[in-house]
Amino acid sequence: MFKFDDIKGKLVVSCQALPDEPLHSAFIMGRMARAAKEGGAAAIRAQSMADILEIREVTGLPVIGLVKRSYPDSAIYITPTHNEVAELLATGCEVIALDMTDRPRPGNEQMPDLVQQIHEAGRLVLADISTFAEGTAAAEMGADAISTTLSGYTPYSPQLSGPDIQLVRDLSMKLTVPVFAEGRIHTPADVRTVMEAGAFAPIVGSAITRPQLITASFVQALA
């Protein structure tokens, strides 16, 4: 059975492409994940049933799964309701990522209910949060690990150009559950910085798996 300790201090790579992105394809995400594995990734973060099933088949790596879906009555879109949790449970992914920010969920669903749904199925919960208060609250609600994924993506969290080092440091010092650093990790130097701040492990996405953004950064250097 998967344990977070299996990936402590190792790289998790986020392989995601939404429908409006050029690499949107379960086949492509599977190959991207396989390339990440060859590069040394210990786990993959992925979204949608199709992508997760493909990635699990071609890599054999543990997967942190999520479903991004928008609802008209909520700003939450990372695994927002019990329906998305059920989809993810059906994929067999080892961990399910939930937006556990302090915002109303669609249909006024409650976070503890989703945590319970995941735990009753024998899976682990990774809480995507944006502030220290949200991280501590998520841990109190039973999240098995915390990720700083949403710092900078809620209007009330710091809007930084790089990773939220202070949030990683504060949560790592306060909590006993693993604290993953995620969000705006652009370089290997950023990885070293978040690890020095106490991160359990880094999760890196766009800097590795979104070539349109990587290309744009080089183009900007010529401006």
pLDDT in tens, 107-121: 999 999 999 999 999
End-to-end alpha carbon distance in the chain? 50
pLDDT of residue 28: 98
Give CA–CA dist 44/62, Å, rounded: 6
* Token pair in block for residue 55: 């990635």
**pTM for the whole structure:** 0.98
Give CA–CA dist 151/123, Å, rounded: 25
Give per-residue pLDDT as tens, 24-72. Answer: 999 999 999 999 999 999 999 999 999 999 999 999 999 999 999 999 9
Give per-residue pLDDT as tens, 104-162. Answer: 999 999 999 999 999 999 999 999 999 999 999 999 999 999 999 999 999 999 999 99
Percentage, residues of the chain above pLDDT 90: 100
Domains and CATH numbers, the chain: 8-221 (3.20.20.70)
Give CA–CA dist 54/16, Å, rounded: 12
Give CA–CA dist 54/27, Å, rounded: 7
Give CA–CA dist 27/50, Å, rounded: 9
Q: Which amino acid is at 168?
A: V
